[in-house]
Amino acid sequence: MGKIFIETYGCQMNVLDSDLIRSRMASQGWSSTEHKEEADLILFNTCSVREHAEERALSNAGMVRKLKKEKPGLVVGIVGCMAQNRQDRLFEQLPHVQLIVGPRHMGAIPRLVEEIRATGTRRIAVEDFDDEFIDGAEAVQSRAGGAQAYVKVMEGCDLSCTFCIVPTTRGAEVSRPPERIVEEVRRLAGQGTVEVTLLGQTVNSYGKGLKPVIDLGGLLRLLSGVEGLRRIRFITSHPSFVRPSLVEAMRDLPKVCKYLHFPAQSGSDRILKAMRRGYSVARYLELCDTLRREVPGIELASDFIVGFPGETAEDFRRTVDLMERVRFQNAFVFKYSPRPGTDAAALPDDVPEEEKKRRHQELLEVQERISRVKNQARIGRRLEILVEGPSKREGRQTGRTDAHQIVNFEAGRDLRGSFATVEITGATALSLAGRLA
The binding site for ligand SF4 (CB under 6 A) comprises 157, 159-161, 164, 166-167, 201-202, 238
Of the pair 15, 25, the CB lying nearest ligand SF4 is at 15
Q: How far apart are CA 138 and CA 105, in angstroms?
A: 16
Please tell me what DSSP assigns to residue 49: S
Nearest approach in angstroms of CB 342 to ligand SF4 is 9
Find the shortest distance in angstroms from Cβ 143 to ligand SF4: 24
Q: How far is CA 395 from CA 145, 243, 362, in A?
A: 18, 44, 35
What single-letter DSSP state applies at residue 294? Answer: H
Nearer to ligand SF4, 160 or 425 (CB): 160
* Smallest separation, CB 412 to ligand SF4 (Å): 44
At 416, give phi and psi (nearest 5°). Answer: -45, 130
Give me the DSSP letters along 322-365. HHHHH--SEEEEEE----TTSGGGGS---S-HHHHHHHHHHHHH
Closest CA to 219 of 154, 140, 149: 154
- Nearer to ligand SF4 among residue 264 and residue 432 (C-beta): 264
Nearer residue to ligand SF4 within complex by CB, 342 or 375: 342
Name 100's bridge partners: 78, 124
Q: Which is nearer to ligand SF4, 124 or 154 (CB)?
A: 154
State how far the Cα of 419 lies from the Cα of 183, in Å rounded to an integer: 24
Shortest Å distance, C-beta 270 to ligand SF4: 18
Smallest distance from the beta carbon of 184 to ligand SF4, in angstroms?
Answer: 23
80 or 434, CB closer to ligand SF4? 80
- Map residue 140 onto helix, strand or coil: coil
Instruction: Give min distance, CB of 163 to ligand SF4, in A.
Output: 7
Separation CA 332–CA 236 (nearest Å) = 13
192 contact partners, CB below 8 Å, separation of at least 6? 141, 146, 147, 228, 417
Least CB distance from residue 161 to ligand SF4, whole Å? 3
Which residue type is seen at 169? T
Nearest CB to ligand SF4, comparing residues 328 and 334 = 334
Complex with ligand SF4: residue 165 or 189, whichever CB lies closer: 165
Q: Minimum CB separation from ligand SF4 for residue 230, in Å? A: 29
DSSP 369-429: HHHHHHHHTTTT-EEEEEEEEE-SSTTEEEEEETT--EEEEE-SS--TTSEEEEEEEEE-S
Nearer to ligand SF4, 201 or 401 (CB): 201
CA distance linking residue 102 with residue 124, whole number of Å: 9
Q: How far apart are CA 264 and CA 52, in angstroms?
A: 22
Residue 340 CB, shortest distance to ligand SF4, in Å, is 15
